[in-house]
Amino acid sequence: MDQQIASYKFSSNDRHSSPKAPCLQLEIELCPLLQYTLRRATPDDDPRPFVFVWSPLNEGYHQDGFILLRHTSDGKLERVPVPDAIQDPIDIVHVKYSFDVQELKPGGSITYYHSLPRRYREQLEPGETYELVWPGTKIRLWGWGVPNDYVGSHLAANPVQPDLIIPGGASVTFTYKQIESPAFIRRQSTPPLLPSDRV
């Protein structure tokens, strides 16, 4: 199955950030909501904290984001078409409050909790098993420092700075019943990002 998923991921040449950018990794679990954990590698080439603008709940489900695959009866994976949610590229973010950006230190992580977006759930069929695959992405909006460094200013894409890369590879298997279960639906009101999950 790993070989089947590999065709939907970033190529091996794109899977790691530039040595001048922090190394990130995304993990996904079902518990019973979808849990997304974004981790920064430790040790890192640079001990400084950095801030960024990206979320698996927003940008992660827009165009070229998470891929939905269905397990077929003959053991293959079939891509399930999902309507695009196209988002215009953002080149600058005005930072009014510290929570307008997120921070990661070496070895740190941020955990997000949320349900599968409705346009994905609407493609699911009873009795079927699915795979949600993260193909990888590049983040342009990031910079060294802490959130307070940017309050009252802005965070902009820097053409001379390498992009952050969140490599592809994370995936989670689930059934229609798990996603549509009362426990899953009841917990959709869970806060998408818990401050206590910031490390």
Q: Is residue 191 part of a domain?
A: no
User: Is residue 3 one of the residues assigned to a domain?
Assistant: no
Structure pTM? 0.82
* 185 domain residue, yes or no: no
Q: For position 162, which CATH number holds?
A: 2.60.40
CA-CA-CA-CA torsion for 28, 29, 31, 37, nearest 10 degrees? Answer: -40
CA distance 86 to 63: 5
- Domain-embedded: residue 43: yes
Q: Residue 171: its pLDDT value, please?
A: 94
- The span from the CA of 160 to the CA of 140, in Å, is 11
Dihedral sign computed on CA atoms, order 86, 110, 154, 165: negative
Residue 199 lies in a domain: no
Tokens of 99: 């929570």
**The total number of structural domains that make up the chain:** 1
- The percentage of the chain sitting over the pLDDT mark of 90, rounded to a whole number, equals 54
Is the pLDDT at 20 greater than 80? The verdict is: no
For residue 182, is it within any domain? no
Mean pLDDT of 22-43: 90
Full residue range of the structural domain in which residue 98 is found: 24-176
Spatial contact of 67 and 81, defined as CB atoms under 8 Å apart? no
User: Does the residue 15 lie in any domain?
Assistant: no
Does 131 map to a domain? yes
- Average pLDDT of the residues in 160-189: 78
Closest CA to 131 of 65, 70, 66, 84: 70
